[in-house]
Amino acid sequence: YSWSPVKARALPGSLLAGFLSLAIDEYKPLDATTNPSLILAAAQMPAYQKLVDDAVAYGKKLGGSEEEQIKNASDKLFVLFGAEILKRIPGRVSTEVDARLSFDKEGMIQRARRLIDLYKEVGVGKDRILIKLSSTWEGIQAGRVLEAEYGIHCNMTLLFSFAQAVACAEAGVTLISPFVGRILDWYVANGDKKTYEPSEDPGVKSVTKIYNYYKKFGYKTIVMGASFRNTGQIKALTGCDYLTISPKLLAELSKEHVKLTPTLSVKEAQACDLEKMHLDEKAFRWHHNEDQMAVEKLSDGIRRFAADAVKLERMLKERMFGTENGK
């Protein structure tokens, strides 16, 4: 199989990989994650048509309106991909809740529980799943409920602001995914400076601050740096709990043959000059809104994932009810 839907994670000391089965075999990641864009691309590949066919059959079997059948088929497809990935890794897979629910706390809780039930149907326990939620206020509070009341572990994605990170820590979620590369992209596109040294990279500085805050105040939430654009960013964040690294950048790192010294550490974090914050909804919305980059990148990310969810549903509709009805 060609593992197009995979972007993988590993603990410090182990590099993580994805996208191709060769990369999984070579780098042996512990965990893996998918998103709607990757699932959409993979679902159109010949190698995965059996999974698509099974998802379509499942949606039709459950019946209901066309909309309900398509939604059920879509959820099933995400789970089937996740289950396949889990056959190749020892850890957990992240499966994302529909981005169109990003401002619907109860909707996200319901969909997350549904995904966990679907995994259970194929013999996968919730201990091997991370539910990915958008890091909106509603998403963070959905994560709080899922963790505390249902024992469902959450991966908070599309995280760009310090306010989002603080709120996630207070909610007690399992893991956050701050996006290093997308933060850099925004500053390059919107400022005069086009290149940054790794230590001055705005994405690196964002994740460093979050890591230091979490470790200084004893939060258990895992910090997983994601969305890297170059190896300099990766090396500047060595010591972070988890990192998500593409096979391309892993290949570049493997050629360097240098010993990396951790740049982040719990000891140094505890000595940092940071003050503890508490954010209720009003304070969260104000502090997040003060960060123009984070506001724009969060909304853009939600729109992009939502658009790919619509494309995936359109493809499933054509498969389930015929091309004419699917247009």
The residues assigned a catalytic role are 132
Please, are residues 77 and 115 in contact by the beta-carbon 8 Å criterion? no
> Which is nearest to 159 in space by CA: 185, 145, 140, 186?
140
Element (DSSP H or E) covering residue 243: strand 242-244
SS3 call for 179: strand
Beta bridge partners of 219: none
CA pair distance 221, 306, nearest whole angstrom: 26
C-beta separation of 203 from 183 below 8 A: yes
For the CA atoms of 317, 322, 326, 327, the dihedral, rounded to the nearest 10 degrees, stands at 160
Tokens of 116: 């966990």
Q: Please name every residue paired with 305 in a beta bridge, in sequence order, or none if there are none.
A: none
d(CA 155, CA 187): 25
Q: What backbone phi and psi angles, to 5 degrees, belong to 242?
A: -135, 155
Give the integer Cα–Cα distance in Å for 90 and 51.
21
